[in-house]
Amino acid sequence: MGSSGKILLPLLAVLAGAACTGRVGRAAPGFTLKGMRGGTLALADLKGNPALIGFFATWAPPSRMAVPEMAQLVAKYKSQGLQVVGIAIQDERARVARFLSEVPANFPVLLCDEPTEKAWFGNGGVQVPVFVILDGKGVVREWLVGFQSAGDLEPFVERVLPEAQNREGGG
């Protein structure tokens, strides 16, 4: 690959991520996807509670590291109403199943289909992992591209949690 290719590919990934961050403040695109444990899960099933959606791929080392970080957030924030969902993108069911046998997830893991990938990321490339934080109404509040530790994600998660607590308290 020439030197222009070495610059162009990372630039395209950055531009694709920047285009998707334009979704912040807008309703998240809907989906209904097959789960690794059977059944399906739809975005509409998450409404009413804030959610962290982590798009990952088993073939990408930063994504492989992201799943345990998401699991830490479930352990810490599930009781406060946070829904966490992993979506395996550009991956095969068998490979995802092998990965989950090595790195268990305490949250639903779904298999992304092509229409959902296009709705969320357009026609550009996808740099994984991607973390999307939704409020209880399904509005995108944060769009974070690249590996994020649980500690990195906590401030963003905590910003949407009071909304869930206020609803429960009648406010």
The span from the CA of 57 to the CA of 95, in Å, is 10
pLDDT recorded at residue 148: 94
> Alpha-carbon dihedral of residues 142, 148, 154, 156, nearest 10 degrees?
-10
* DSSP bridge partners of 78: none
Give all domains of the chain, ordered by start, each with its CATH number. Answer: 3-168 (3.40.30.10)
Section 101-113 average pLDDT: 95
Question: Which tens digit of pLDDT belongs to each residue from 6-57?
Answer: 443 343 344 444 445 568 899 999 999 999 999 999 999 998 899 999 999 9
Q: Amino acid identity, residue 171?
A: G
pLDDT recorded at residue 47: 85
Range with lowest mean pLDDT among 10-19, 35-44, 85-94, 158-167: 10-19
Question: Which tens digit of pLDDT belongs to each residue from 115-149?
Answer: 999 999 988 778 899 999 999 999 999 999 999 99
**Residue tagged 């739809």 (tokens):** 42
The span from the CA of 40 to the CA of 64, in Å, is 23
pLDDT recorded at residue 126: 82
Whole-structure pTM value: 0.83
| 8 A C-beta contact, residue 54 and residue 129 | yes
pLDDT recorded at residue 17: 42
Closest by CA to 156, choosing from 88, 57, 54, is 54
Question: Which tens digit of pLDDT belongs to each residue from 67-84?
Answer: 999 999 999 999 999 999
pLDDT at 168 exceeding the cut of 90: no
pLDDT recorded at residue 120: 93
The span from the CA of 32 to the CA of 45, in Å, is 9
